[in-house]
Structure 1
Amino acid sequence: MSTAALTLNPAEEWRPAVNPWIIALAVTLATFMEVLDTSIANVALPHIAGGLSAGQDESTWVLTSYLVSNAIVLPLSGWLSSIVGRKRFYMGCVALFTVSSFLCGFAPNLPALIIFRILQGIGGGGLQPSEQAILADTFPPAKRGMAFAVYGIAVVMAPAIG
């Protein structure tokens, strides 16, 4: 038996199936959209209230409903992804977030908008923990710092743009 097979460095054995930067780009774009959506609603709130003939107190439910549903799903994300699988959970969150974002744009009244924002918050709440786990699994330990730095840029830039 050859000893060459026994002397491999664990870092040399590890190789992702696809280019890890493509995965990083995909999860970073989803993060960017989720964080942008959180901040852009604050800016648009007066226009939303005017367009839906809602008072200031009523229109703040647009923000509150998203943040509360997001905060409820956030700590459950690890458990839910262990039940349905990380990829399936992540893709479900992206789909729910995308569809509910589209529906928010076409909401005919304030109650419909609040319901769509709750759904959007549920989808968005599962994104960030899943994305961080995906990045940690995709990159070898030596490159994780760079991957999380790129991810962090999206988290910082989205509110500045929104």
Structure 2
Amino acid sequence: METGLTKWIIVITVVLCCLLELIDTSIVNVALTQMMGNLSATQQEVSWVVASYGIANVIVIPMTGFLAEQFGRRNYYFVSVVIFTLASIACGQSTNIWELVAFRFVQGIGGGALMATSQAILIDTFPPRQLALGQALFGMGIIIGPTIGPTLGGYIVDSNLGRVLNLARG
């Protein structure tokens, strides 16, 4: 059990990671048409951007307990954050649809591990009498993420930010 500032740093980190994973799950949905134009992809091809992420999640989530036990929960979580972050950067730098699909798959592997490991970390962080508080904070992240994702995605697509990101990519 962690106490003091360390406990709250863990809580903030875990909730933010879950929040980012859930935002990432839904952010691309509103940008599919834009991606079709920017990457010269068909509707069937661009649907793989969403599907590859989900498939990776479905593969990694059942393996998470085993992998966390083999490598240690902290190490596994840290590597998952690194994979998720690097894959996110790679997604932003993709120049064609199949690169984006491949990087979204890798991103889904990291993201699925984040979601599955986060609750276990919170359970280890809070004493039994405060466990409800930890789970409530986790629940807030889970509820807020899917709400922010499409809104943020729409903002990026419709604003100058979307054009700037597109120009920066080349």
Deviation at 1:58, TM superposition (A): 0.8
Is the alpha carbon distance of 1:15 and 1:119 closer, same or farther for their aligned partners in structure 2, counting shifts above 3 Å? Answer: closer
What does residue 8 of structure 1 align with?
A: none
Tell me if 1:121 matches 2:103: no
The counterpart of 2:41, out of the listed 48, 54, 57, is 54
Write out aligned runs for 1:29-108 (5 A): 29-108=16-95
Q: TM-score, normalised by structure 1?
A: 0.88
User: 2 CA distance for matches of 1:15 and 1:98?
Assistant: 26
User: 2 CA distance for matches of 1:125 and 1:59?
Assistant: 21
User: 2 CA distance for matches of 1:156 and 1:45?
Assistant: 23
State the SS of the aligned residue for 2:95: coil
Q: TM-score, normalised by structure 2?
A: 0.84
Identity %: 43
State the SS of the aligned residue for 1:53: coil
Tell me if 1:133 matches 2:120: yes
The counterpart of 2:10, out of the listed 20, 23, 27, is 23
What does residue 153 of structure 1 align with?
A: 140
Which consecutive residues of structure 1, in runs of 5 or more, have no partner in the other structure?
A: 1-13
User: 1 CA distance for matches of 2:34 and 2:97?
Assistant: 12
Deviation at 1:20, TM superposition (A): 1.3
Greater mean deviation of Cα atoms: 90-99 or 19-28: 19-28
RMSD between aligned residues: 1.3
Deviation at 1:122, TM superposition (A): 0.6
Is the alpha carbon distance of 1:143 and 1:107 closer, same or farther for their aligned partners in structure 2, counting shifts above 3 Å? Answer: same
Which consecutive residues of structure 2, in runs of 5 or more, have no partner in the other structure?
A: 150-170
User: 1 CA distance for matches of 2:13 and 2:27?
Assistant: 21
User: 1 CA distance for matches of 2:82 and 2:99?
Assistant: 19
User: 1 CA distance for matches of 2:50 and 2:87?
Assistant: 14
User: 2 CA distance for matches of 1:147 and 1:44?
Assistant: 34
Paired residues in the alignment total 149
